[in-house]
Amino acid sequence: MNRSQWGIVWVLLVVTLGVPVPRTWAGTYRLIAVVPVPGQRLSSFDISWVDPDARRYYLADRSNKAIDVINTQSNRFVEQIIPAPPNNFQGPLTGSKGGPNGVLAIHSLKELWVGDGDSTVKVVDLTTDTVVATIDTGGVKRADELAFDATDQLIIVANDADPSCPADGRIGPFFTFISTQTLTVKGYLCYPAATDGLEQTVWDPATNLFYAAIPATATNLGGEIAVIDPVTMTVKGTPFGVTRCNPHGLALGPGQQLLLGCSSAALDSTHPAQTLIIDKTTGVPLATITPLGGSDEVWFNPGDNHYYLAASSMTSNGLALGSGSPPATLTPVLGIIDAGDSTTPPSLIDKVPTAVGAHSVAADPHTNHIYVPFGAGAVAVYALD
């Protein structure tokens, strides 16, 4: 893209998104496209997902009670999946009852699984764009983020905001396990130790285990990673405790790497923001990336061996807002980390300015394009310069 073309795109970002975006930045990544989303402004959205086989990007769009779909080959908007009542998404409701929330595509089944605000998981047939199952997880608030165990054909969904667990009535959030074959709930894992909800989960085909980001517990104030056996539906061993992280995002990287996207709760007035990479089998820290934090969704892209972090709560100096001299201001970024290899440790390679509320990210491994939705009504696409 030449300088004049970049100027046109920059103007489009400012006009379309209504937020200031720098014309240039010191780094290797740049904006290459802006994909407008029709309907209401994206004042409320959640997790995004790329299906690399279908070449589709999916965004949980609460503002429009929809799933927004973008073609990742052409970077063009395709459609909005808006189910009809009574299977409609809940929309931008308050009190942890809004939805859609978590979303993932199972390409082999041609299905999209979506956590919704009424404690249901909705299964969308992608050949017809219709909801073929609405599965009640037994709670009273939202079903949130999901992961898929391809070996056992099992979905885990975090019921992060519920006051009690349907399995035994204990106070606290819980995980629900759903069979993708029978479309029924197979069991629950109550997590009463969690004091700040439950966040992103991932499944590891190498170990056949789920990993779940727990922002905080009474034992681990800085958060922990629970290792969950999908067969027994129980926590395996003792969770890996971490400090000054309060993980929200979680991404499975190469080798033994598990990246933790440390959230805004981890920003304090003394220590700079950080991102942690731990050994998934032992919990031992492998790398600490700083200053980069305030992250929500994170993503590993095998196409370029990079992690991408939607660090929407990052600040100018990595400290809590108002801390330091000059005082820290809000500076949301797309954080980019090279995962390294057996001889090179992970390292921070770029922080690209985004916008307030840009807390969702996903990447296509074919093109290595990165997708970040903005609240003003568009999805920005970034790529290596």
pLDDT at site 8: 35
For residues 68 and 76, is the Cβ–Cβ distance under 8 A? no
Residues 6+ apart with CB under 8 A from 202: 147, 210, 211, 250, 251, 252, 258
For residues 83 and 122, is the Cβ–Cβ distance under 8 A? yes
pLDDT at site 261: 98
Going by the DSSP 8-state scheme, the letter that residue 3 receives in this structure is H
Question: What residue ranges do the domains of the chain occupy?
Answer: 40-192, 207-368
pLDDT at site 18: 44
Q: Output the DSSP codes for 126-191.
A: TTTTEEEEEEE-S-SS----EEEETTTTEEEEEETT-SB-TTT--BS-EEEEEETTT-SEEEEEE-
pLDDT at site 17: 43
pLDDT at site 385: 82
40-192 matches 207-368 in fold: yes
Q: Spell out the CATH class of 40-192.
A: mainly beta
- Stated as kind and residue range, the H or E segment containing 78 is strand 76-81
Q: Output the DSSP codes for 207-270.
A: TTEEEEEE--BSS-TT-EEEEEETTTTEE-SS-EE-SS--EEEEEE-STTEEEEEE-GGG--SS
The residue ranges of the chain whose pLDDT is under 50 are 1-26
pLDDT at site 207: 96
Enter the pTM of the model. Answer: 0.93
Residues 6+ apart with CB under 8 A from 165: 172, 173, 174, 188, 190, 191, 192
Cα(301)–Cα(259) distance, integer angstroms: 12
User: Amino acid identity, residue 85?
Assistant: P
Cα(173)–Cα(217) distance, integer angstroms: 12
Look at the block and give the residue holding tokens 């037994």: 138
Cα(59)–Cα(66) distance, integer angstroms: 8
pLDDT at site 15: 42
Asked if the 207-368 domain carries CATH number 3.40.50.11540, the reply is: no
